[in-house]
Amino acid sequence: MSAPILNVKDLNKSFGAVTAAHDISVAIQPGTCTGLIGTNGAGKTTFVNMITGYLKPDTGSIEFNGQNITKMTPRDISRIGVTRSFQIPQLYASMTTLENLEMGFGVLALMRNKRGLFVGSDKPVPGYGNQTIRQLAEEAMERFGLSAFRDQVTRTLPGGTRKLIDIAMAMATKPKVLLLDEPTSGVSSEEKFDIMDMVMRVVKADGTTVLFVEHDMEIVSQHADRVLAFYDGTIIVDEPPESALKNELVLQYIVGNTQALSTTGQNDA
């Protein structure tokens, strides 16, 4: 087995009297796809927030490729190759889809070129051959099926499309690890399978390691090759989906509750 790309050790996080993470330890292998399941408030989003620097753990450590990232800022963590999408898409609402993605690749150009202050969208992005910011943005739109929304301002777009743009923007940073926080929440049941198929096709083609928070067990079983089941701030099950989704603890604490929640349309806090 190769060295883990992400190594989380004894992670603890409390919000006052509420324990959101309790002694969480897990190692993620490169190129894998891990599904994070659990009821609302189980600690999944807190786990994602801690890995991506949005929250700092009270104790414990997070290593990415052997580098300790526990106290790093979201910006620095993104720069070294760990980024995320959000439950509520975080887009530049006044910009078009193209402009949102150009911004992503523009930042990449800015970071990779010391003279990047004046790299125009018609200039090549260092490390991408002769491809310009515009070409990379167009290509990303094509890969995520967003070309039809190229010139539409993102605040006017439907939820599913906004989710895809959010993920496409995360992928624009060329991450080695991508954390997807409920990529299909708020999306119609017909759309969510298409969205996940599209996202997984792209991230797997790029060899990106993926961790995704998901309430739909069918999607988890389709795409995950490992399942981490959260309950009350701890990981209660860590198994492949075939066994994890039949595990008694999962059936008792998660599946029943999740199904109940999905019928009421609630999302994770």
C-alpha span between 247 and 109 (Å, rounded)? 46
Quick note: the x/- pattern for other proteins over 54-93, rule CB under 8 A, is: -------------------xxx--xx---xx-x---xxxx
Size of the site for other proteins (CB under 8 A): 36
User: Considering the rule CB under 8 A, would residue 110 count as an interface residue with other proteins?
Assistant: yes
Q: Which of 67, 80, 37, 71 is nearest to 173 (CA)?
A: 80
User: Considering the rule CB under 8 A, would residue 108 count as an interface residue with other proteins?
Assistant: yes
User: Considering the rule CB under 8 A, would residue 97 count as an interface residue with other proteins?
Assistant: no
Which is it for strands 67-68 and 59-64: parallel, antiparallel or unpaired? Answer: antiparallel
- Dihedral sign, Cα of residue 216, residue 221, residue 224, residue 226: positive
Query: Which is nearer to other proteins, 83 or 185 (by Cβ)?
Result: 83
C-alpha span between 136 and 146 (Å, rounded)? 13
Instruction: Count CB atoms within 10 A of the CB of residue 246.
Output: 11
Which residues within the stretch 199-218 sit at the binding site for other proteins (CB under 8 A)?
none
Query: Which is nearer to other proteins, 34 or 173 (by Cβ)?
Result: 173
User: Considering the rule CB under 8 A, would residue 161 count as an interface residue with other proteins?
Assistant: no
Give the one residue of 111, 198, 236, 261 binding other proteins; rule: CB under 8 A. 111
Which is it for strands 82-85 and 177-181: parallel, antiparallel or unpaired? Answer: parallel
Query: Which is nearer to other proteins, 20 or 91 (by Cβ)?
Result: 91
Q: How many residues does the chain have?
A: 269
**Minimum separation from the CB atom of position 173 to other proteins (A):** 6
User: Considering the rule CB under 8 A, would residue 103 count as an interface residue with other proteins?
Assistant: yes
Give the one residue of 45, 97, 132, 173 binding other proteins; rule: CB under 8 A. 173
Instruction: Count CB atoms within 10 A of the CB of residue 124.
Output: 16
Query: Which is nearer to other proteins, 75 or 263 (by Cβ)?
Result: 75
User: Considering the rule CB under 8 A, would residue 258 count as an interface residue with other proteins?
Assistant: no
**Minimum separation from the CB atom of position 69 to other proteins (A):** 13
Cα-flanking dihedrals φ and ψ of residue 245, to 5°? -75, -10
Burial code (b: 16+ CB inside 10 Å, e: under 16) for 223-233 equals bbebbbbbbeb
Contact by Cβ (8 Å): 183, 85? yes
User: Considering the rule CB under 8 A, would residue 102 count as an interface residue with other proteins?
Assistant: yes
User: Considering the rule CB under 8 A, would residue 187 count as an interface residue with other proteins?
Assistant: no
Contact by Cβ (8 Å): 91, 167? no
Binding site for other proteins (CB under 8 A): 52, 73-75, 78-79, 83-84, 86, 90-95, 99, 102-104, 106-111, 116-121, 133, 169-170, 172-173
